[in-house]
Amino acid sequence: MILLPPALLYFSNAILFISLFTRLPSIQETMQIDKAMLGLALLSAPVGTFLALPLAGRITDRLTPRLTAVITLPIVALLSPLLTVFSLPGFVICFFFFGFVRTIFDVSANMISAGIERRTGVKVLSRSHGFWSVGLLFGSLASGFLAGEGVSPTIQQSMAAGLALLACLTVFLLMPADPPAVAPPVRRSAYVLPDRIIILICIMVFGLCIVEGAVYDWGIFYLREVMGADPALAGMLYAAFTVGMGATRMAGDMLRDRFGALALIRLSAITVAAGIILLVTAPSFTMAGAALFLIGCGIALAFPLAVATTIALGKGQPSENLAALALTLMLSTIGVPPLLGFIAEHVSLSAAFIVLLPCVFLSFLMAPVAEGKRPFRLRMR
């Protein structure tokens, strides 16, 4: 039962997210824009994230994580159908608020999982994120089926929004209220600046996180335009990515105890690199699905390990450390969607994935940070 509230929140959030991104080709067609312009439009959500981060930790502390989550996720749910009907200017504005509110929700959901670990001693953080992956799997399969049946993106997002509202109501009724947090007496700056360890953590997972974002943004386009899959088959192949992610995250807490964070980051980077190479050379739908499965396995533990490391090694308020982590990751990746959109439009979708390989190698090199060790330590004899 202790896992039920974060499981419902992560699951329904993932349904909203993947339902939107798997229908991007239809939304792009409605807006009548090319991939480069779509990449720029997708930049509006990170801008919303940037402006939300100064408030995310404070709102979560003031309202408590439980109340913050059940207020913000319904707002995200109500915004999501609007993204399917607006022209480009309306999409940009709505996607900005989508990113703004969803950022506050993300901090509160991670704080709920971290609070359960702190109170009970039971590791649930990776499994909580695992239910995000389960939601991605369910959502991608359902999205492929609904697209194949001709259901409009607007109706699909409305259905996803209804599920999220029901999940929030259940969490509100079942989860006991948190005690109100005591506000610190010192005056804090608007933006929580990351300290050295948070910057190093962000560099460590940077390569893995941008690959995850690339699959969300361009995975369906790759399957449909390069591989030639129809909407239903593309949804099924995309599900292989979410299966790999979900299975790995469900086992993540056990793997973290058994093998340690350093080994997991290195293995993740190797797996992602292998998946990218296999994807861009895949001769068949089966091989493309296997490649996406490998990528899903590889990126699965990046953010849960980053959150766990931040909570364990960061200084000050955990909520503010998580906000600083999210801020730094967002700033480091903010130019990636338009860059990949430009490459996809003017070179190829395959090239958009290949250029990510050096960043994945950087994550491999930075793996010691996951255990509080220095990367690139040279031994002089």
* DSSP labels, 26-77: HHHHHHT--HHHHHHHTTHHHHHHHHHHHHHHHHHHHH-HHHHHHHHHHHHH
pLDDT digits over 116-160, tens only?
A: 777 777 777 777 777 887 888 888 788 878 888 888 889 999 999
Low-confidence winner among 154-158, 224-228, 314-318 (lowest mean pLDDT): 314-318
Distance CA 34, CA 4 (A): 41
4-174+191-371 sits in which CATH class?
mainly alpha
Are 347 and 44 in contact, with CB atoms under 8 Å apart? Answer: no
- Residue 333 is predicted with a pLDDT of 61
pLDDT bracket for residue 23 (50, 70, 90): confident
DSSP 105-130: HHHHHHHHHHHHHHHH----HHHHHH
Q: Which single residue is written with the structure tokens 């929030």?
A: 168
Q: Assess whether pLDDT exceeds 90 at residue 93.
A: yes
The dihedrals phi and psi of 229, each to the nearest 5 degrees, come to -80, 145
Q: How high is the pLDDT of residue 33? A: 85
| pLDDT tens, residue by residue, 276-303 | 999 999 999 999 999 999 999 998 888 8
Residue 55, classified by CB atoms within 10 Å of its CB into exposed (0-12), middle (13-18) or buried (19+), is middle
Query: From CA 61, how far away is CA 366, in angstroms rounded?
Result: 32
Point out the least confidently predicted range of 71-75, 227-231, 268-272, 326-330.
326-330
Residue 194 clears pLDDT 80, i.e. is over it? no
Average pLDDT over residues 215-225: 84
C-alpha span between 129 and 180 (Å, rounded): 25
Residue (of 347, 214, 364, 230) closest to 291 by Cα position: 214
Compute the distance between CA of residue 373 and CA of residue 369 in angstroms, rounded to an integer: 5
pLDDT at position 180: 58
Averaged pLDDT, 343-355: 87
Better-scored residue on pLDDT, 378 or 85? 85
Q: Is the pLDDT of residue 379 over 50?
A: no
Instruction: Tell me if 283 sits within 8 A of 357, measured CB to CB.
Output: no
Sequence-ordered list of residues with C-beta below 8 angstroms from that of 300, at least 6 positions apart, any chain: 129, 133, 244, 245, 246, 248, 249, 252, 268
**pTM summary value:** 0.69
